[in-house]
Amino acid sequence: MKLSHASRFALVTLISLLPVCVHSAENTAVSGEDLAKVGERIRQTGAQMQEDLKKARARMEAQKAQQAAERKREEERARLQAIKEADEQRQAQEARQQQAREAAQAQARQAAAKRAELAAKQAEQAARDRQVALAMQRVKDEQAARERAALALKQARQSVGPRAMADAPARETAKERAARALREARQSGGPRAMAEDGL
């Protein structure tokens, strides 16, 4: 824009000087002093036009440099913004991954706690089952011992007969034999059976 303004100024100046030159060509009686003045004016006008052109070029160069600097600043801002957005995306991705890891760990802890609870319940049930089985076995052993004692007492009575029972005070009474058989039966039931019976 400034260059075209300078060009217009130079064109207007030249046009304004044409009548002077034409007039001086028609009027040959123009003095040398007038010609020198006109030449000096033309020279000054040319120098002024050159100065204006230089200034216009300098302004254009400055404007181009300013625009280039602005583009560079804009590109740097865009680059920094892209780096910032990439960093934010990376941080967001890391945060999502961390949350996923924490959720998986929490789920694993819950599953482990449930498995431990189930194992504890199963162990408790197994212990109760063992206790019930032991108690039933004790009852069976005691019942079997009583049955053996009763059978031994019955056999002792049958084998000896009524006469032997009459001779028993000399050797061993039937009551003592029954007690001995009961003791033997209990001993075969184990020390626990004896402890329960107070023997």
The answer to whether residue 113 sits within a structural domain is: no
The answer to whether residue 166 sits within a structural domain is: yes
The answer to whether residue 29 sits within a structural domain is: yes
Please say which residue of 66, 86, 106 terminates a domain. 86
The answer to whether residue 171 sits within a structural domain is: yes
Q: How many CB atoms lie within 10 A of CB 181?
A: 19
The answer to whether residue 56 sits within a structural domain is: yes
CA of 45: how far to CAs of 11, 17, 24, 52, 107, in Å? 11, 10, 19, 10, 91
Total domain count, the chain:
2
Please say which residue of 59, 86, 113 terminates a domain. 86
Please say which residue of 61, 86, 111 terminates a domain. 86
Amino acid, res. 10: A
* Most confidently modeled range among 13-17, 23-27, 108-112, 190-194: 108-112
The answer to whether residue 130 sits within a structural domain is: no
At residue 2, does pLDDT exceed 70? no
The answer to whether residue 131 sits within a structural domain is: no
The answer to whether residue 142 sits within a structural domain is: yes
The domain of 158 spans: 137-197
pTM: 0.36
Least-confidence region, from 59-63, 91-95, 187-191: 187-191
Cβ contacts of 156 within 8 Å, gap of 6 or more:
174, 177, 178, 181
Task: Report the mean per-residue pLDDT for the chain.
Answer: 81
Tell me how far apart the alpha carbons of residues 61 and 35 are, in angstroms, rounded to a whole number. 38
Mean pLDDT in residue range 60-64? 95
Tens digits of residue pLDDT in 73-128: 999 999 999 999 999 999 999 999 999 999 999 999 999 999 999 999 999 999 99
